[in-house]
Structure 1
């Protein structure tokens, strides 16, 4: 017996679970995506140039005045210098121009077509301070990386997932609100880092709680609903910033509703599986009985459930540590491969996330299109991994991303063609994320599986901090696409030694993980229709299909956790 057997007795997908999906999982997924992706629009640096007073004393147009007062730009992306002006004097409508270049003497003018204010225009992060916005993004990603390790560790070892969720919501609310009135750049970075700490936990904790309450057969549906909600949140980020073009206004509207999640204090339970691991049996029994009562099932007695829970505790596996992997060559090699893959994927994804200037006059539409293309990525990822195999899925993801990046680098003049290519790169690279974490779930043993996924995420986030500097590098508009092409090609090459894991059971021990894939030649294409030739699995149609469905369900659950 395992915990899922107890769950089936009290209802694995009844009113209780559906209510938690509707009131917790879906709105939290939507809110987290909406709130976290605002940074992309906050850090936009619109076109700007020196404000040179005196035009009002002449009959010159804005463009004529700029031609007269600003030196030509050496930057391939602009026609006028951003940070220099000529020395101008206006007397009785007569303009005298001294060709000596000066730094901006009277502030700046901005292109306010898309935004009333961004962080850069509001705080004057321009010219020699233009990189401040990129630093802000990097510090936020650093907070994400630290929070990904720290808060889940505290949750698992000490206070539980429910408590950490409310702590994370409080952290995000407080520091995002303080950030809007931060008087200094240092305080801004501190708030940005602290707000970043909450990113993973304010979504991951309720996700894990809800998924662990649901029957394994319905977990893929639950994960899909969470993913769709997340994608819709990203798309609505573009809509919100279009309706409210001032960074303080759209940040306020996207942040304050997070306070409503404190209303879940009484209704969101602690994870009963976590309570079981901590031997808090009475609290675990209360949750189980409440599930049965809400679902209209027979409520089991306290003693009956207590016997089952204590039986499960006795059969729990011996805890092993991450350091044990260094005794196994193949596990170490696979870990190195997935870390390199993850780093390549996260940098490419970060470049695409920030790449909202393909349509410079309609950045919201630009972001909406790129976000929308994430929606089919997991569906395509599941279909290709299930039928074509894991190796074919990851190889095609990187290969197609490489080809599209190359085509994008060679088609930067036609903006709609470029946007279409960027959207397909995002589809393939998001699909690669899905396959990567599926591989993480299938390559590594149970005792360290979650830790390995955390390590890959942390290395990926650290690598992703380079994205804003690639996006703003002064090497021309094609530079980032060449970088994406090279990284996609590196990802393709390093994944060649990975074994095919389709149809194999999840490894429970380090020895099983180290021997994974033996008897499966790397030169053979192993897929849904022939994998049973290379491994011992049920061969009868129904049994084999059932076994594969159960394995895929377990794998998807592991990924999303």
Structure 2
């Protein structure tokens, strides 16, 4: 809406207010958020493990390796190489279970691994497991024996987290459009910290742990989305790329810190507490977070909008227009003239419905891949901490390139090209992932895919904010991310398939990238466009654009859209 964009541009000036908010409040949020959001990639690591037996209690090094060759059956590993079975042990022929499990000395003469399998009996690990402590002194799976018959607990927890995110997107996206950005941001930040701390001490009860995981995952979505929404809604078009770019760069810094913190602490409970509690201190900056004036006008709260705009003008050392009250009242009246029905409004008219659908599909291409590539670090050869760090640090130059592409190429074709490039990279990996000698190439293509995924993940947030109108902006963001998360429910299980055949995850991720690339080409270009305030403006935006076009079509001020009762 031109009237409001003019006011925002006038009071912004050098943008000191926006910079202070971004650097001092939202920057630390995005720095700390990946530490607590993605820490379970380390907390839920399943270390190499094998059956526990009294005879190996004091064995280390080469002696332990010899014991494994003696008592553990061999099987083909996911990468095609031979390795030991983690869930079974061999009993010498003719020896009873009771005698075997009380044998506290290793007698190399009674070594079933030196004879044929017909001369020995394979049984399950009835006395628990021993874990490789090289990377972690303890993880949640090693502490609670979430392996073998309980191996599904780990992918199930990631799936539960995704389902919690779906619930959060569905409920909290609507709530932030209904009750305001600021209050929901505060509430969800507090709940993230409380649920994250409590669940660390109740992992022995899987059901309670999973329930708290659901709560924290639901709230993470709002804590992540709302700063994006607030900073873009108080910024003119030329500041949006900068604001989202800086937010993503601080997120990358947090992602790079996570493997370092995990490597230094090595105990899952310490990692969980150190990466979660500091987020709570950010609540102290509550009074410095403004309520979105755009949202205030959708609720006819003209005075609240004026308060924020005057605060911006004071900090930015600019002047508010003398007729600001009249202009804001006019904008509010236009917004009040049309009714919004939440999620129904997203599909109220053909063009709006089409853009919502393709935004959701493109979001799948970014959301599913970003999350799955980070989870897939456990299936990659090499050091877990180093792999995660490389997958994180690659985001820095990716975001810088993304900011350049957004300003010089635009949103639409940048997004489509990047997702198609991911299709090619992951497609190559789907052919070579099961070849151990090509592991370096697989990791290289994963890094390229993660680089691209960071770009596409950033672009989809810019597009979503710029396509949906203020009255349903967070609802729209919630719905498209909801759609992507429903697909991403299967992400942990897709990655788990890599423990059976390392090629399968790459095949699925490549196909999803292709679908996302096509969907991105069906969205209108939004570079330089004003944020739509009403459903009428959102419906008109992008109508009739040429498929091979590169620029956004000029916008017109439209009368409010009348939705059918």
TM-score range with shorter-chain normalisation? Answer: 0.7 to 0.9
In the alignment, structure 2 segments of 5+ residues that lack a partner are 92-99, 113-119, 557-565
Provide the TM-score with structure 2 as the length reference. Answer: 0.82
User: Aligned partners of 2:345 and 2:11: how far apart in 1?
Assistant: 38
> Are the equivalent residues in 1 in contact too, given 2:249–2:399 (CA < 8 A)?
no
What secondary structure, in the 3-state scheme, does the structure 2 residue paired with 1:166 have?
Answer: helix
CA shift, 1:505, in A, is 7.7
Q: Assess, with a 3 A threshold, how the Cα gap between structure 1 residues 354 and 272 changes in structure 2: closer, same or farther.
A: same
> Are the equivalent residues in 2 in contact too, given 1:168–1:202 (CA < 8 A)?
yes
Output aligned runs, 1:265-284, within 5 Å: 265-284=286-305
Aligned residue number for residue 29 of structure 2:
28
Q: Assess, with a 3 A threshold, how the Cα gap between structure 1 residues 401 and 44 changes in structure 2: closer, same or farther.
A: same
In the alignment, structure 1 segments of 5+ residues that lack a partner are 538-546, 548-561
Output aligned runs, 1:336-375, within 5 Å: 336-357=357-378, 360-375=381-396
Q: Assess, with a 3 A threshold, how the Cα gap between structure 1 residues 217 and 114 changes in structure 2: closer, same or farther.
A: same
2:39 counterpart of 1:38: yes
Q: What's the CA shift string for 1:436-480, capped at 9, x where partnerless?
A: 455556666776555333221101111112111111114321221
Q: Assess, with a 3 A threshold, how the Cα gap between structure 1 residues 370 and 163 changes in structure 2: closer, same or farther.
A: same
2:547 counterpart of 1:527: no
CA shift, 1:368, in A, is 1.2
Q: Assess, with a 3 A threshold, how the Cα gap between structure 1 residues 246 and 49 changes in structure 2: closer, same or farther.
A: same
Equivalent of residue 107 in structure 2, options 69, 84, 94: 94
2:492 counterpart of 1:468: yes
Aligned residue number for residue 68 of structure 2:
66
> Are the equivalent residues in 1 in contact too, given 2:347–2:356 (CA < 8 A)?
no
Aligned residue number for residue 544 of structure 2:
518
User: Aligned partners of 2:365 and 2:550: how far apart in 1?
Assistant: 26
User: Aligned partners of 2:169 and 2:64: how far apart in 1?
Assistant: 49
User: Aligned partners of 2:11 and 2:406: how far apart in 1?
Assistant: 33
Tell me the number of residue pairs that the alignment of Structure 1 and Structure 2 aligns: 527
Q: Assess, with a 3 A threshold, how the Cα gap between structure 1 residues 519 and 225 changes in structure 2: closer, same or farther.
A: closer
CA shift, 1:309, in A, is 3.5
User: Aligned partners of 2:313 and 2:67: how far apart in 1?
Assistant: 75
2:189 counterpart of 1:169: yes
> Are the equivalent residues in 1 in contact too, given 2:173–2:477 (CA < 8 A)?
no
User: Aligned partners of 1:536 and 1:295: how far apart in 2?
Assistant: 29
Q: What's the CA shift string for 1:487-535, capped at 9, x where partnerless?
A: 2233345556666677888776669847945372x4xx4336xx8xxx6
Q: What's the CA shift string for 1:42-89, capped at 9, x where partnerless?
A: 121111110121136889700001111112225445511111112346
Aligned residue number for residue 489 of structure 1:
514
User: Aligned partners of 1:283 and 1:392: how far apart in 2?
Assistant: 39
What secondary structure, in the 3-state scheme, does the structure 2 residue paired with 1:526 have?
Answer: coil
> Are the equivalent residues in 1 in contact too, given 2:259–2:386 (CA < 8 A)?
yes
Aligned residue number for residue 475 of structure 2:
451
What secondary structure, in the 3-state scheme, does the structure 2 residue paired with 1:199 have?
Answer: helix
Q: Assess, with a 3 A threshold, how the Cα gap between structure 1 residues 211 and 382 changes in structure 2: closer, same or farther.
A: closer
User: Aligned partners of 1:434 and 1:55: how far apart in 2?
Assistant: 51
> Are the equivalent residues in 1 in contact too, given 2:359–2:523 (CA < 8 A)?
no
What secondary structure, in the 3-state scheme, does the structure 1 residue paired with 2:121 have?
Answer: strand
> Are the equivalent residues in 2 in contact too, given 1:57–1:90 (CA < 8 A)?
no
User: Aligned partners of 2:475 and 2:460: how far apart in 1?
Assistant: 15
Output aligned runs, 1:175-186, within 5 Å: 175-182=195-202, 183-186=204-207
CA shift, 1:375, in A, is 2.7
What secondary structure, in the 3-state scheme, does the structure 1 residue paired with 2:508 have?
Answer: helix
Further displaced range: 418-427 or 377-386: 377-386
Further displaced range: 32-41 or 443-452: 443-452
Q: Assess, with a 3 A threshold, how the Cα gap between structure 1 residues 76 and 277 changes in structure 2: closer, same or farther.
A: closer
Aligned residue number for residue 544 of structure 1:
none
Higher relative contact order, chain-length normalized (CA < 8 Å, sep 6+): 2
Aligned residue number for residue 424 of structure 1:
448
Aligned residue number for residue 85 of structure 2:
81
Provide the TM-score with structure 1 as the length reference. Answer: 0.83
